[in-house]
Amino acid sequence: MNTRTSLLTAGIVLASWPFAALAQTVWDVSLPWGPNEFHTLNAQAFAEAIEEATDGDVRLVIHAAGALGVRANESLRAVEEGAIPMAEYALFQNVGELPLLGIEAIPFLINDYDELRRMHSIVRPVWEEQLAQRNQVALYIVPWPSQNFFTKEPVEEIGDLQGVRMRVYDANTSTMISRLGMTPQQMNNPDIVPALATGRLDAVMTSGTTAVAQSYWEFLNHTYTTNHLWASNVMAVNREVWDELSEENQQIIMTLAAEMEPDFWEVSAAEHEMRMGQLIENGMTVSAPSDELIAQMQAATEDMADEFAAAVPEAAPVIAAFRNGD
């Protein structure tokens, strides 16, 4: 090989190098939660696993705390329309788009993680089909820890809740709170602390994870482990950008999602006890609600499952199968 040929060959190699680099797929991933919340850490672990398993072909860039400007209740539509390629979002905060996503928030329908897994086994295929119709692919679905009441004043029975301004996050939770005699205040996660600080809220319904992340002990005094409903997140990717991947990389990502999801569930389950301990360390009381209060809450909301099934027809067979132990 003469010098001229060698230089030409070297030039071809050098010229092709930037184009090889440009072949990498990079997806911005929107999350509304802070960088240290466990769902965000799960997403980061998922991103790292994907980059390693695809030999760098696919890279996810995690944007926490709504850094991409997408609010929690805008996420489903943003992914659908391709405004963002990928997002993890709370199902319950997008019930305005797909009402069935709120089925976990039916009060006292689901009692624990085992029952939640059973509900997911029944409803997940329907959720995935509905999301597919909205131009996105569901990769994994992971719950928050059980939901609790965080209040300024002690609560012994339902009369203590009358007129309390309680944060809620969808129509279902708003109905529940109204039936308990409270005043629902629907708002997204980032709006809670400003509302507490300005006195527009007296109480919050959420998980211990959020309570610790937002330092509720600065505003509230009591935690009641009401465990009255559940909430989950989905990691979803826009169908068009998904279809741009090779079949091999699609399979790698799907396999990773299936393998990592059970571990993410375990993280969720461990979160509750850990966060309750941190609330106590920071001066809040943590206690189970009285039997009287739970009975009163259940009585006030006992019709909500049937009402949900009537309002959302596709929910009826799901609720029936769940109640039958399927």
Are 188 and 295 contained in the same domain? yes
Residues 85 and 119 in one domain: yes
Domain count for the chain, please give it: 2
Please give the pLDDT value at position 15. 38
Cα gap 124→127, rounded to integer Å: 5
The answer to whether residue 126 sits within a structural domain is yes
Q: Clarify whether residues 160 and 216 are in a common domain.
A: yes
Q: Which of 194, 162, 192 is nearest to 177 (CA)?
A: 162
Residue 290 has a pLDDT of: 94
* pLDDT for the residue numbered 188: 82
- Let me know whether 77 and 126 are in one domain: yes
Q: Tell me which residue of 76, 35, 42 sits closest to 268, measured CA to CA.
A: 42
Instruction: Provide the domain limits for residue 140.
Output: 3-103+111-144+230-270
Q: Are residues 56 and 135 in the same domain?
A: yes
**Could you tell me if residue 158 is inside a domain?**
yes
Identify the CATH number of the domain in which residue 195 sits.
3.40.190.170
- 227 secondary structure, DSSP code: -
d(CA 173, CA 303) in angstroms, rounded, equals: 14
Nearest to residue 288, comparing CAs of 214, 206, 213, 222?
222
* 253 in a structural domain: yes
Q: Are 227 and 148 in contact (CB under 8 A)?
A: yes
pLDDT score, position 8: 36
Q: Are both 175 and 284 inside the same structural domain?
A: yes
What Cα–Cα distance (Å) separates residue 13 from each residue in 3, 4, 17, 20, 56?
15, 14, 6, 10, 20
216 and 244 in a single domain? The answer is no
In this structure, the answer to whether residues 83 and 8 fall within a common structural domain is yes
Residue 12: inside a domain: yes
Q: What are the residues facing 58 on neighbouring strands? A: 25
Are both 159 and 302 inside the same structural domain? yes
326 residues of the chain, pLDDT tens digit each: 443 343 334 343 333 334 444 469 999 999 998 898 999 999 999 999 999 999 999 999 999 999 999 998 999 999 999 999 999 999 988 999 999 999 999 999 999 999 999 999 999 999 999 999 999 999 999 999 999 999 999 999 999 999 999 999 888 899 999 999 999 999 988 899 999 999 999 999 999 999 999 999 999 999 999 999 999 999 999 999 999 999 999 999 999 999 999 999 999 999 999 999 999 999 999 999 999 999 999 999 999 999 999 999 999 999 999 999 98
